[in-house]
């Protein structure tokens, strides 16, 4: 009896803090690297990304460790400013399953993350309205090697299908690299 009680006492902290990886850092993402805005509704749940390319994260170019190389266009001195990424995930009862959801992103240079069409996180980007041609605030000195983390409300997610949409912006037209990967963890 004492042994069972000790096991339960030992396991209780682990059971109380269980986590589910909803998106891992080597997940497959849809991406749009065509040098233009795909659509004004590209980040919505109803948008069809069937014509987008698919690749395994990390995605980008010019950085060691990139699993999928995306295009920057035909000129190394006039690269695309923005590349778009989308991922659909299924979450069962997010309000009762998770008290918190943590988003971790590695980005070079700037990033904006949308959950089900609504902006929920912005890093190294100016405030206000952003367009395809908006540069990041600065060139990321970490080259996407450091996780940027934010806690998201479980209320941002719906029961069933959810869309995570991400736009990665360069700091200038000659930037030598782009990098993106993300994790989503329910706790």
* pLDDT per residue as tens digits for the range 131-168: 999 999 999 999 899 999 999 999 999 999 999 999 99
Cis peptide before 162 (omega within 30 of 0): no
Q: Quick one: which of 178, 147, 175 has its CA closest to 66?
A: 178
Q: How confident is the model at residue 178 (pLDDT cuts 50, 70, 90)?
A: very high
Residue 6 has pLDDT above 90, yes or no: no
Q: How confident is the model at residue 15 (pLDDT cuts 50, 70, 90)?
A: very low
What is the mean predicted confidence (pLDDT) over 30-39?
97
The secondary structure of the chain, three-state, reads CHHHHHHHHHHHHHHHCCCEEEECCCCEEEEECCCCCCCCCCCCCCCCCCCCEEEECCEEECCCCCCEECCCCCCCCCCCCEEEEEEEEEECCHHHHCCCEEEEEEEECEEEEEECCEEEEEECCCCCCCCCCCCCCCCCCCCCCCCEEEEECHHHCCCEEEEEEEEEECCCCCCCCEEEEEEEEEC
What's the CA gap between 153 and 151, in Å, rounded? Answer: 7
Q: What is the pTM of this model?
A: 0.90
Q: Quick one: which of 147, 146, 148, 138 has its CA closest to 175?
A: 138
Residue 174 has pLDDT above 70, yes or no: yes
pLDDT at 60: 98
What is the mean predicted confidence (pLDDT) over 41-50?
97
What's the CA gap between 148 and 128, in Å, rounded? Answer: 20
């Amino acid at each position: 009896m004492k042994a069972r009680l000790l096991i339960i006492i030992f396991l209780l902290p682990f059971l109380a803090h269980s986590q589910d990886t909803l998106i891992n850092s080597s997940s497959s993402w849809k991406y749009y690297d065509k040098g233009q805005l795909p659509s004004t509704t590209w980040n919505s749940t109803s948008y069809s990304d069937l014509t987008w390319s698919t690749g395994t994260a990390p995605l980008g170019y010019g950085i060691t460790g990139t699993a999928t190389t995306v295009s920057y266009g035909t000129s190394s001195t006039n690269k695309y400013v923005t590349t778009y990424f989308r991922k659909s995930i299924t979450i069962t009862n997010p309000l009762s399953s998770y008290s918190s959801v943590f988003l971790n992103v590695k980005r070079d240079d700037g990033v904006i993350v949308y959950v089900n069409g609504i902006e929920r996180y912005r890093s190294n980007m100016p405030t206000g309205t952003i367009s395809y041609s908006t540069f990041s605030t600065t060139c990321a000195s970490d080259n996407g090697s450091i996780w940027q983390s934010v806690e998201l409300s479980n209320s941002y997610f719906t029961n069933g299908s959810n869309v995570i949409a991400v736009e990665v912006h360069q700091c200038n037209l000659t930037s030598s690299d782009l990098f993106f990967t993300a994790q989503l963890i329910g706790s």
